Structures are given as structure tokens and as C-alpha cells.
């Protein structure tokens, strides 16, 4: 065995959030079993706008043994309990997509069935009132609770996160090489990548290459031509502009997604500043008009020049091709509507570590990796399309196009199932759980016509007691929580935090 070639040399092309998330996880998990090199150039900027995350990042950081308070202090992070969607169902409407569960499910049916039966019986309280995370977000409160009862994520500075992970990865043995990649050298015999050639002439050889070069997809597409599926016909926004502003108030524990007549705008409060951006379809809104709209709808002094991005929504057909794996934007892009960009980086990295080759790359591993990655992206794609398709807005050509468009069969089936019966089924460990689909579908105006008959098993008194018990538990818990801004300062306050 000692004489056999082992697949040891792992080369990461590109830094940023994707590159350093990969380096930190591989170095910490694999240790000396791999020789890990990351190539990046200080001259190449990173996108760095992905500041809102979802709960699996909490697990990712724990897997790496990261101290949460240290991480949040270093990244100027705040806590996030969900997203408030303004103007998506119709102009003037709002709803929350929160983390965690709503009410209490029965094994045979989700809580929404009991809530719908209750509405029929005259109980008129909102579905929102039964969700701890949602009410805490609305009231601007947060604290860690015993048994991880509060589900949360982070609002963070992604460029600071990359720096935090870099210091960790380098301590764990990652070698960083400064330089711009001039060309990718292929093996003339098998077509695999043999080395990265830098501007300096240096060659970085490897056995396995991770493409973290962002939209350029320098390895996976420009060199290996893995192919790309364009999803613009379902997700028509193709442009974004991002700016940072001063904080003018304590940070709230949620992200805002504010719809406008050609897309939407985000607002993400960190400790030291606020991240803002506008996402739009250039067919219906010009760049100058979008920038004016963004700058006219921010709070606080603008701290940065507008960062303009153009993108094509879609996915790489083969995320792992030959000896190259796409991580992050090189593997595809879906707009940040549900904060899934960092999550997709994380999923790809953890999946790769589980399938890390010993001597040679297994075709079965590659096929399984691609199947799982493609399934992840298609399921997230469908969830994002839902926000555009299920709308009552007809006030602009953009929204009329979205409402009229045909959607993937997988999404059409999910919408019809919920509309007819109130049911949602989570398939193959998909990211968004039943409660996420229920909150967004009802928030976007899809009302089920029926509920599960098991709800009628409860007498009127039993139903009233159950609903009151669940509401009261949420109310009592939220009443005891501190203000989010004050909790952040006490738990992980950075030097320039805005105190409550």
C-alpha cells in the first residue's frame, strides 16, 4: 500500500467565502492526510454580499469546533430568526418566513391542519402567533434557550468570515499561495487538470482541484466545459446592486426582502453597519433607475460605492467533473432571496469530505455527488420560484410575467397538493422543511381548501385548550427574552456595535 499513489494534493483555486470555508473544513477534518493549498490573488475582489444565512451554518461552525461568540465578534454578526417579506403577495402586504416550527405537529398531519380546523370553529388567531421564532423576531428579541429551542442563523460580514476562516485554516496546515491564475494546464492523456499556472510562472500541481473562482468558473467551465443549465425563464432577475450603510438603530433579528415592481430589495443589519441591495430584472428596470431606487430607500449614511453585479441564474450540469469540483458561485447561482448561497457552499464541502477519494476518483462517487448537488439546487430553485409565481400582484409587467409563467412540474405538484389538501411532504432531506413551505405558500396567498380529518378528532374544548396552550407558551417565552441588540452586545459585541 505504501507504494501506491494516494490522492493527497488538494488545490483550492480562489479564496473568498467559498475557498476559505472549504480550506477550513478540509484542513480541520482531514488533517495531515491531505496536502492543502489555496491559490488566491489580492488583486481579484470577491462578491462578498452574502451576509444573511440559514440555520445549518450553526451546525457547520459547530462541526469545525468554532466558538460562536468569537466568530460573531470577528464577523460583526447578529442573530437571524427569519425573513420578513414585504409586498410579495400584494403591495402593502407583509409576512414572515421564520425558522423553527409553528405550533405542534401530529405524526399524521402538520399543525396547519389543526389551525385550519380551528379557523372553521371560530378561532381567528393568526398562524404566526404559534411560532416562537416569528414572534420573537417581530418583537425584536433574542436569547439562546435550553435544548436549542430557538432556531436561528446569522447576519454576518462574509468578507470578515473568510478572514476568520483563513486564520483557522492556516493554523491547521493550509498553505496559501498569492498569485493570479494565468492558465489551467490539462493532462494530455486523460483530460484531467494537472496544474494551475500563475502569472509568475509558478505551477501548482494537484490531484484534486476545487473551483472557487466565482462566476468566472475558471476551472470547471472555462477549462473543462462542464455545461450550464440556465434557469432565467423561472427566475428572471439578472442584476443586483449592493451598498453598505451606517447603522442608525439597534439591529433587528431578521432580514427584510422588500418587493418592488421589477424585483426586490434586501436589508441586513449587522453590528457595525447595514447591508443593502436591490435585485432586479434589467428588462424592466435600468441600472441607473435601480441604483436611484436603492439609494433612495436606505437608512443611514452610505459607506461604500455601489457594487454592481450581473448574473445568470442556473446550475452547472456537472458540479464534480473529472478531478475538479465546483464550490460556490462556480457551481451556479440562485439569487439571495432565501439566503441559500453560503448554505450551498457548505453542503458541497461537507458532501466532498464524506466522499473524499483515497487513491483514485470513483465514478460512482462523482455520480452520487452530482445527483445530490443537482437535487439540492433544484429543490431550492423551486422554493425561490414559489415567491414569484404565487403572487396577487399585477401592477407591473414584471409581476404579470411571473404570475403567468409555467413552473417546473415538481413545484406545480407541491402547490396543487397544498391548495387542495393543506399537505406538504419533505423529500430526500430537502433543505426547506414543511413549515417553511406552509409559511411562504400561505404568506403568498395560497389557501388550502381542506384539512386532514384527524383534526376533527379533537372536541371543541380540546381544540380550544390546545391552541391556547401553544399560544401562551410562545407569549410567555418571548416575554422573558431580552432585546436582540442588547443581547448581541453582551454576548458577542464588537468594538463598533450599536447598543440598544
Closest CA to 390 of 106, 88, 6: 88
- Pairing outcome for strands 78-80 and 324-326: unpaired
Alpha-carbon separation of residue 210 from 40, 61, 165, 315, 345 (angstroms): 12, 21, 17, 16, 12
> In sequence order, what E strands does 162-260 have?
175-178, 181-186, 193-198, 203-205, 208-211, 228-230, 239-245, 255-260
- Cα–Cα distances (Å) from 182 to 13, 112, 149, 204, 306, in that order, read 12, 56, 50, 12, 29
Cβ within 8 Å of residue 370, ≥6 positions away: 318, 319, 320
Is position 80 annotated as part of the catalytic site? yes
Q: Cα–Cα distance between 268 and 254 in angstroms, integer? A: 7
Q: What is the DSSP letter of 64?
A: T
Compute the distance between CA of residue 407 and CA of residue 418 in angstroms, rounded to an integer.
16
Contact 378, 316 (CB under 8 A): no
Greatest pairwise CA separation for the chain in angstroms: 79
Q: What's the number of CA atoms in the CB half-sphere (13 Å) around residue 375?
A: 13
The residue from 80, 89, 141, 414 that is catalytic is 80
Residue 5 CB burial class (10 angstroms; 0-12, 13-18, ≥19) = exposed
Buried b (16+ CB within 10 A) or exposed e, 43-62: eeebbbbbbbbbbbbbebbe
**Cα–Cα distance measured from residue 245 to residue 296, given in angstroms and rounded to the nearest whole number:** 12
CA distances from 261 to 42, 310, 312 (A): 38, 19, 20
Distance CA 493, CA 484 (A): 12
Residue 152 contacts residue 142 (beta carbons within 8 Å): yes
Phi, psi values for residue 86, rounded to 5°? -105, 125
Which residues belong to the active site?
80
Amino acid at each position: 500500500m505504501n507504494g501506491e499513489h494516494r490522492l493527497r494534493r488538494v488545490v483550492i483555486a480562489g479564496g473568498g467565502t467559498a475557498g476559505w470555508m472549504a480550506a477550513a473544513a478540509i484542513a480541520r477534518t482531514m488533517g495531515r492526510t491531505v496536502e492543502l493549498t489555496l491559490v488566491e490573488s489580492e488583486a481579484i475582489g470577491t462578491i462578498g454580499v452574502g451576509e444573511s444565512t440559514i440555520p445549518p451554518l450553526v451546525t457547520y461552525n459547530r462541526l469545525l469546533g468554532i466558538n460562536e461568540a468569537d466568530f460573531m465578534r470577528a464577523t460583526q454578526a447578529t442573530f437571524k430568526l427569519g425573513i420578513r417579506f414585504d409586498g410579495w403577495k400584494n403591495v402593502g402586504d407583509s409576512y414572515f418566513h421564520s425558522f423553527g416550527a409553528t405550533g405542534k405537529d401530529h405524526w399524521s398531519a402538520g399543525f396547519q391542519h389543526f389551525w385550519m380546523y380551528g379557523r372553521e370553529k371560530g378561532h381567528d388567531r393568526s398562524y404566526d402567533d404559534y411560532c416562537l421564532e416569528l414572534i420573537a423576531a417581530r418583537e425584536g428579541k433574542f436569547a439562546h434557550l435550553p435544548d436549542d429551542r430557538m432556531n436561528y442563523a446569522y447576519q454576518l460580514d462574509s468578507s470578515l468570515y473568510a478572514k476568520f476562516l483563513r486564520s483557522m485554516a492556516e493554523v491547521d496546515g493550509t498553505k496559501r499561495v498569492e498569485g493570479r491564475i494565468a492558465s489551467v494546464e490539462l493532462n494530455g492523456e486523460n483530460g484531467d487538470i494537472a496544474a494551475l499556472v500563475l502569472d509568475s510562472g509558478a505551477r501548482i500541481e494537484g490531484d484534486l482541484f476545487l473551483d472557487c473562482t466565482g462566476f468566472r468558473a475558471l476551472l470547471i467551465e472555462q477549462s473543462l466545459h462542464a455545461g450550464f443549465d440556465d434557469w432565467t425563464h423561472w427566475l428572471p432577475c439578472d442584476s443586483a446592486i449592493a451598498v453598505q450603510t451606517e447603522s442608525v438603530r439597534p439591529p433587528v433579528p431578521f432580514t427584510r426582502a422588500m418587493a418592488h415592481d421589477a424585483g426586490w430589495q434586501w436589508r441586513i443589519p449587522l453590528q457595525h453597519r447595514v447591508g443593502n441591495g436591490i435585485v432586479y430584472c434589467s428588462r424592466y428596470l435600468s441600472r441607473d433607475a435601480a441604483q436611484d431606487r436603492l439609494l433612495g430607500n436606505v437608512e443611514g449614511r452610505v459607506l461604500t460605492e455601489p457594487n454592481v453585479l450581473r448574473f445568470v441564474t442556473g446550475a452547472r450540469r456537472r458540479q464534480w467533473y473529472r478531478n475538479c469540483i465546483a464550490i460556490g458561485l462556480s457551481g451556479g447561482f440562485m439569487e439571495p432571496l432565501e439566503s441559500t448561497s453560503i448554505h450551498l457552499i457548505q453542503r458541497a464541502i461537507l458532501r466532498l469530505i464524506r466522499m473524499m477519494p483515497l487513491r483514485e476518483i470513483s465514478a460512482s462517487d462523482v455520480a452520487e455527488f452530482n445527483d445530490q448537488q443537482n437535487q439540492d439546487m433544484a429543490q431550492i430553485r423551486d422554493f425561490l420560484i414559489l415567491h414569484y409565481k404565487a403572487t396577487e400582484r399585477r401592477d407591473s409587467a414584471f409581476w404579470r410575467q411571473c404570475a403567468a409563467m409555467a413552473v417546473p412540474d415538481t413545484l406545480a405538484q407541491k402547490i396543487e397538493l397544498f391548495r387542495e389538501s393543506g399537505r406538504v411532504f419533505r423529500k430526500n432531506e430537502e433543505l426547506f422543511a414543511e413549515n417553511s413551505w406552509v409559511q411562504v405558500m400561505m404568506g403568498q396567498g395560497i389557501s388550502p381548501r381542506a384539512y386532514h380529518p384527524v383534526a376533527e378528532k379533537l372536541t371543541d374544548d380540546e381544540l380550544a385548550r390546545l391552541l391556547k396552550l401553544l399560544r401562551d407558551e410562545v407569549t410567555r417565552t418571548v416575554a422573558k427574552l431580552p432585546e436582540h441588540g442588547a443581547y448581541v452586545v453582551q454576548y458577542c459585541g464588537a468594538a463598533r456595535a450599536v447598543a440598544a
